[in-house]
């Protein structure tokens, strides 16, 4: 067994081991366990990325039992890109949580609510294990199990925010479980007509099937289920309360990483598990339409928020829309050629990866301000920028990524999407992209500009309290995310070459 193959298994199982250890340890040791595990995961990501860059596909047959009996782990291009992004964002956020324990939520002692939640560490490491399991899985049922691991820990992480976050967490739980069940129903239907659970074998078996109806129904069920988990527009209402009431280091995990797990599963279903189906065009157009609505409505709703965290959460809903805009281009139709489809696919991945980094940075910054000032009302935060120049710089860099300005992965994604739209002569996509970009400039300005204004009554704002060394270091972590937003913009070509490995076309 080669080292990259070892890394494939270890990327899932070591964080789970870390989570188990954290359950029995006291609070300071949990922090150390968390940081050590994060560093090890980041190091284990490297051999997988190197192998994929060299054009090889690392694959591990667990237990030596071949599919359809056993489970395969495949580190293809899609997996590699999201593993890399998750390790980068996860490492920085772990460091942030270790430096500023206040950001991990509040727990109830015998007498009062105490900031700094020890329950964060096992749950976050478990969530990370689930994320890596989702990216690497080559088996439909295993995807369901991994998705459950992510969903359940994500719900529990929201609930760490104290009394006010319990209700949003419960709502999130219901949506997540319902979404999982719909996905499982689709998996069951596919397994009953193909007789296998392995992604590649499912595709081959479905290709030989005359009647596309079961596959189409399964795809519809899975798309609705995953649409709930990814918070596509009409199914988005759970996201804003959950993401904005979560503890300040949990919100970036949810918006940046957890949503991407559902997106990856959706792409696996549409592009890997199911071949191009005759009747699937209407579904792609429906998704494209919902994506358009999400971009427009999400941005307008973000513009109307008075508080910073809900504003950032609504911006997530708008950004989710971009990923679905590309769906009508994803499946090669009669006139379009496969190159357009691969371009659109590259656009979705670049947009989602760029969003993971930029949104993690912006949400951490918003949470930092909320923790420090006790409120995230934009009016009350006026002038906070004078005391936190580093933080404002980081927020600006992240905003560049969310707007899709060069240089950032957001720009690469929008550029690829526009190119594919020109090729397919879908001119409406330009309008949506332009409107979305303008609106996002509006809401980001609305969120960030007041921080730079002169405060009305100086020195009285909570932000004027002396800043501790720990807080300064936390600001640097956010700046790191901002810099990463721009730096990854230079890696667009690398991402495209990686996506070639083990691709569906």
Partner 1 sequence: MISLIDVVLGLGVLAVTGLSLIPRSRLVMTLGFLVLGVLIALVWLRLDSLDVALAEAAIGTGLLSGLMVWLAVRSPLPPGAGAMETSPRIPWLRPVVGTAAGVSLTLVLAAVWLRAEHRLPEWRDAAEAQLPDTGVEHQITGVLLAFRAYDTLLESGILMLTAAAVLALSRDGGLSAEGSHRLGVHQIAAPMPPVPSALSWAARLLAPALVLLGLWLLFAGSTDSGGAFQSGAVLAAALILLRASQVDLSGFTAYWLRPLLVVGVVVFICAGLIGPVLGLPWLSWEPEWAFAAVLSVEVLLTAGITAGLYTLFLALENPEGVR
| Rg for the chain, CA atoms, rounded | 22
State the nearest-atom distance from the C-beta of 269 to partner 1, in Å.
Answer: 17
| Contact range with partner 1 by CB under 8 A, out of 212-220, 231-239, 243-251, 486-494 | 212-220
State the nearest-atom distance from the C-beta of 20 to partner 1, in Å.
Answer: 4
Please report whether residue 385 would count as binding partner 1 according to CB under 8 A. no
Round to whole Å and give the CA distance between 171 and 402: 28
In the range 64-93, which residues lie near partner 1 by CB under 8 A?
Answer: 64-66, 68-71
Please report whether residue 112 would count as binding partner 1 according to CB under 8 A. no
User: Which one among 123, 353, 357, 402 touches partner 1, defined by CB under 8 A?
Assistant: 123
Q: Residue 113 in 3-state DSSP?
A: strand
User: Which one among 84, 101, 118, 367 touches partner 1, defined by CB under 8 A?
Assistant: 118
State the nearest-atom distance from the C-beta of 492 to partner 1, in Å.
Answer: 33
State the nearest-atom distance from the C-beta of 502 to partner 1, in Å.
Answer: 18
Q: Name the CA dihedral angle for 394, 400, 402, 408, rounded to a multiple of 10 degrees.
A: -100
Please report whether residue 62 would count as binding partner 1 according to CB under 8 A. yes
Residue indicated by tokens 């209700």: 167
Round to whole Å and give the CA distance between 266 and 273: 10
Round to whole Å and give the CA distance between 342 and 349: 11
Q: Name the CA dihedral angle for 41, 42, 44, 49, rounded to a multiple of 10 degrees.
A: 140
Nearest to 162 by CA among 344, 371, 452: 371
Residue 87 Ramachandran class (φ > 0 left, ψ -120 to 50 alpha, else beta): alpha
Supply φ then ψ for residue 290, to 5 degrees.
Answer: -65, -35
416 CA to centre of own chain: 20
Please report whether residue 56 would count as binding partner 1 according to CB under 8 A. no
Provide the mask over 213-242, with x wherever binding to partner 1 is found by CB under 8 A and - wherever it is not.
xx--x-------------------------
Residue indicated by tokens 């009996």: 69
Please report whether residue 189 would count as binding partner 1 according to CB under 8 A. yes
For residue 407, whether the previous peptide bond is cis, meaning omega lies within 30 degrees of 0, is yes
Please report whether residue 211 would count as binding partner 1 according to CB under 8 A. yes
Please report whether residue 160 would count as binding partner 1 according to CB under 8 A. yes
Which residue lies nearer to partner 1 by CB, 160 or 484? 160
| Contact range with partner 1 by CB under 8 A, out of 107-115, 243-251, 262-270, 304-312 | 107-115
Which residue lies nearer to partner 1 by CB, 3 or 430? 3
| Contact range with partner 1 by CB under 8 A, out of 61-69, 246-254, 420-428, 489-497 | 61-69
State the nearest-atom distance from the C-beta of 92 to partner 1, in Å.
Answer: 23
User: Which one among 35, 50, 57, 191 touches partner 1, defined by CB under 8 A?
Assistant: 191
Contacts of 204 (CB under 8 A, 6+ apart): none
User: Which one among 37, 103, 132, 142 touches partner 1, defined by CB under 8 A?
Assistant: 142
Structural contact between residues 172 and 228, judged by C-beta atoms closer than 8 angstroms: no
State the nearest-atom distance from the C-beta of 114 to partner 1, in Å.
Answer: 8
Q: Residue 246 in 3-state DSSP?
A: coil
Supply φ then ψ for residue 374, to 5 degrees.
Answer: 80, -5
Round to whole Å and give the CA distance between 213 and 479: 50
Please report whether residue 208 would count as binding partner 1 according to CB under 8 A. no
Please report whether residue 141 would count as binding partner 1 according to CB under 8 A. yes
State the nearest-atom distance from the C-beta of 218 to partner 1, in Å.
Answer: 9
Which residue lies nearer to partner 1 by CB, 26 or 466? 26
Please report whether residue 58 would count as binding partner 1 according to CB under 8 A. no
Round to whole Å and give the CA distance between 273 and 276: 10
Provide DSSP, 149-181.
HHHHHHHHHHHTT-HHHHHHHHHHHHHHHHHHH
Structural contact between residues 462 and 373, judged by C-beta atoms closer than 8 angstroms: yes
User: Which one among 41, 85, 152, 226 touches partner 1, defined by CB under 8 A?
Assistant: 152
| Contact range with partner 1 by CB under 8 A, out of 14-22, 84-92, 408-416, 463-471 | 14-22
Provide DSSP, 8-48.
HHHHHHHHHHHHHHHHHS-HHHHHHHHHHHHHHHHHHHHHH
Please report whether residue 279 would count as binding partner 1 according to CB under 8 A. no
Please report whether residue 115 would count as binding partner 1 according to CB under 8 A. no
Please report whether residue 465 would count as binding partner 1 according to CB under 8 A. no
Query: How big is the chain, counted in residues?
Result: 505
Contacts of 337 (CB under 8 A, 6+ apart): none
State the nearest-atom distance from the C-beta of 293 to partner 1, in Å.
Answer: 21
User: Which one among 16, 98, 360, 400 touches partner 1, defined by CB under 8 A?
Assistant: 16
Which residue lies nearer to partner 1 by CB, 160 or 230? 160
Structural contact between residues 3 and 102, judged by C-beta atoms closer than 8 angstroms: no
Q: Residue 197 in 3-state DSSP?
A: coil
Please report whether residue 195 would count as binding partner 1 according to CB under 8 A. yes
Binding region for partner 1 (CB under 8 A):
1, 5-6, 8-10, 12-13, 16-17, 19-21, 23-24, 26-27, 60-66, 68-71, 107-110, 117-120, 122-123, 126, 129-130, 133, 141-142, 145-146, 148-149, 152-153, 155-156, 159-160, 163, 189, 191-196, 201, 205, 209, 211, 213-214, 217
């Amino acid at each position: 067994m080669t080292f990259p193959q070892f890394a494939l298994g270890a990327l899932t199982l070591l964080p789970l081991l870390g989570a188990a250890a954290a359950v029995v340890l006291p609070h300071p040791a949990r922090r150390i366990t968390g940081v050590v595990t994060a560093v090890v995961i980041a190091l284990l990501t490297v051999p997988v990325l190197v192998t994929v860059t060299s054009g090889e596909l690392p694959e591990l047959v667990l237990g030596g039992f071949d599919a359809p009996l056993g489970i395969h782990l495949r580190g293809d291009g899609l997996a590699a890109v999201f593993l890399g992004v998750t390790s980068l964002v996860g490492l920085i956020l772990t460091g942030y949580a270790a430096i500023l324990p206040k950001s991990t939520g509040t727990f109830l002692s015998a007498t009062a609510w105490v900031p700094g939640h020890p329950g964060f560490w096992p749950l976050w490491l478990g969530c990370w294990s689930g994320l890596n399991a989702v990216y690497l899985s080559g088996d439909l049922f295993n995807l369901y199990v991994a998705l459950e691991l992510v969903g359940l820990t994500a719900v529990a992480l929201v609930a760490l925010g104290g009394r006010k976050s319990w209700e949003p967490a419960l709502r999130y739980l219901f949506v997540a479980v319902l979404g999982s069940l719909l996905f499982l129903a689709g998996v069951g239907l596919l397994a009953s007509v193909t007789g296998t659970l392995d992604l590649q074998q499912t595709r081959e078996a479905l290709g030989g099937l005359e009647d596309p109806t079961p596959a189409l129904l399964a795809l519809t069920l899975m798309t609705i289920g995953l649409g709930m988990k990814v918070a596509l527009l009409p199914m988005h209402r759970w996201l804003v309360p959950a993401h904005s009431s979560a503890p300040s280091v949990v919100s970036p995990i949810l918006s940046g990483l957890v949503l991407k797990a559902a997106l990856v599963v959706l792409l696996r279903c549409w592009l890997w598990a199911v071949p191009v189906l005759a009747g699937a065009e209407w579904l792609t157009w429906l998704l494209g339409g919902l994506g358009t609505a999400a971009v427009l409505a999400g941005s307008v709703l973000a513009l109307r928020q008075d508080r910073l965290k809900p504003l950032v959460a609504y911006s997530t809903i708008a950004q989710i829309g971009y990923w679905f805009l590309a769906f009508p281009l994803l499946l090669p139709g009669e006139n379009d050629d496969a190159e357009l489809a691969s371009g659109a696919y590259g656009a979705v991945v670049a947009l989602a990866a760029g969003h993971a980094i930029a949104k993690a940075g912006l949400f951490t910054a918003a949470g930092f301000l909320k923790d420090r000032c006790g409120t995230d009302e934009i009016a009350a935060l006026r002038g906070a920028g004078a005391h936190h120049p580093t933080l404002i710089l980081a927020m600006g860099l992240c905003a560049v990524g969310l707007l899709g300005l060069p240089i950032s992965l957001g720009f690469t994604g929008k550029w690829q999407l526009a190119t594919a739209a020109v090729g397919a002569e879908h001119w409406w996509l330009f309008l949506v992209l332009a409107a979305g970009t303008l609106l996002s400039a509006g809401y980001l300005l609305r969120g960030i500009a007041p921080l730079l204004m002169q405060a009305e009554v100086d020195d009285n704002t909570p932000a004027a309290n002396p800043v501790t060394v720990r807080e300064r270091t936390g600001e640097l972590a956010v700046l790191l995310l901002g810099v990463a937003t721009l730096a990854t913009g230079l890696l667009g070509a690398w991402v495209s070459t990686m996506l070639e490995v083990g691709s569906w076309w």
